[in-house]
Amino acid sequence: MTQKSSPSSSEKDDDDSNEKETSSTGAATTTSRRTLLLSLGVVVVSSSTSIEAANAGEMMIDSRTFVSRAMQKFERNDVEGATMDFDALIEKSPGSKPYLWQRGIALYYVDEFREAEKQFREDVRVNPNDTEEAAWAFLSQMRKGGGGEDDASSSSSLKKAREEFVELAGRDSRKVMGSVLRLYKTGDEEAKKTLESLSKKPADSTQSASDAFYASLYLGLYSEALGNAEEAKYWVKKANGTPYGQRASGDFMTSVAKVHLARRKWDVVDEDSDKRTMGGNVEVVSTHAFDSATRRLERFPFPESYSMRIV
């Protein structure tokens, strides 16, 4: 998913110290370099700011620990525990909240749809090109509004969710997401057919394997939001069963498919098998949808995961 920035408490401390430093010649340049290094997680030590920089570095490391631990809990289907870890991080570092799209997904799976929607809508402020933020806000709003319960409520929820669909400032670079966006926002049948076609692509490259997984997953999530449980089950199981769903390293969304099946009890397995299929997929933080321009311009607080690959 993609993201944008609101200043964290450590950034505000940096701003205060920056005002003091700019009183001397050339200090503004030194300050901007120091701020850039801190935004990359590098602890910069100088005679006047060593303690402040060290604290910022510790907070960066601590944030990564919180996020990594929460994601690992989610992978094990301890979604409640993951939600608690994300909330603890926000309590400690409020500025991290707009970057925690994983928290929104965790909230979705504990049926906190209203809070999940708020999280995704806030995420868009720092990540305005990511279709997945808008898609999950739509899904959360549908579930919050009673989508899937009966024809009347589903129709009403769908109309409202499309009227209030998150507007993205830019374009998601992933082609499969263009079809997801059109389907979710307008119900475009051609977009649905395109996703169905992509879901059948052979895994002859990482890109085609990824497309098959994402097309299937978002068809399943969409079907469930519209109340088509059997269709949803088919698509989410298909997503999980793709080569990408089974063997991709570093993409948190493959864990979402597994957790979805487990929470819906669509894929009952014995305890030992569950341990083999759940967990072990998180490298640090999967941020695969970020483009390099956004990373250069924004103070993104968490590391980019390794390139997605089939292993």
Clarify whether residues 57 and 137 are in a common domain.
yes
Clarify whether residues 84 and 137 are in a common domain.
yes
Contacts of 277 (CB under 8 A, 6+ apart): 258, 269
CA distance 250 to 203: 17
The answer to whether the beta carbons of residues 202 and 208 sit under 8 Å apart is: yes
**Total of domains in the chain:** 2
State the CATH number of the domain containing residue 129. 1.25.40.10
**pLDDT value for 30:** 38
Clarify whether residues 207 and 100 are in a common domain.
no
CA distance 152 to 37: 54
| Nearest CA-CA partner of 209 in 183, 237, 239, 233 | 239
Other C-beta atoms lying within 10 Å of the C-beta of residue 27: 14
User: Residue 293 falls within a domain, yes or no?
Assistant: no
Other C-beta atoms lying within 10 Å of the C-beta of residue 292: 8
Domain span holding position 56: 31-41+50-149
User: Residue 119 falls within a domain, yes or no?
Assistant: yes
More confident position, 30 or 50? 50
User: Residue 164 falls within a domain, yes or no?
Assistant: no
User: Residue 275 falls within a domain, yes or no?
Assistant: yes
The answer to whether the beta carbons of residues 147 and 161 sit under 8 Å apart is: yes
Clarify whether residues 35 and 137 are in a common domain.
yes
Clarify whether residues 215 and 145 are in a common domain.
no
**pLDDT value for 177:** 97
Rg of the chain over Cα atoms, rounded to whole angstroms, equals 21
The answer to whether the beta carbons of residues 93 and 260 sit under 8 Å apart is: no
User: Residue 158 falls within a domain, yes or no?
Assistant: no
Q: Is the pTM of this model over 0.85?
A: no
Clarify whether residues 143 and 191 are in a common domain.
no
At 159, the pLDDT band (50, 70, 90 cuts) reads very high
HSE-up (13 A, CA, CB side) for residue 264: 19
Clarify whether residues 188 and 277 are in a common domain.
yes
Clarify whether residues 37 and 144 are in a common domain.
yes
Clarify whether residues 132 and 226 are in a common domain.
no
Task: Give the 3-state secondary structure of residue 309.
Answer: strand
User: Residue 300 falls within a domain, yes or no?
Assistant: no
At 250, the pLDDT band (50, 70, 90 cuts) reads confident
User: Residue 223 falls within a domain, yes or no?
Assistant: yes
Clarify whether residues 181 and 261 are in a common domain.
yes
**pLDDT value for 1:** 65
Q: What is the pLDDT of residues 163-218, one digit of tens each?
A: 999 999 988 989 999 999 999 999 999 999 999 999 998 888 889 999 999 999 99
User: Residue 159 falls within a domain, yes or no?
Assistant: no
**pLDDT value for 63:** 83
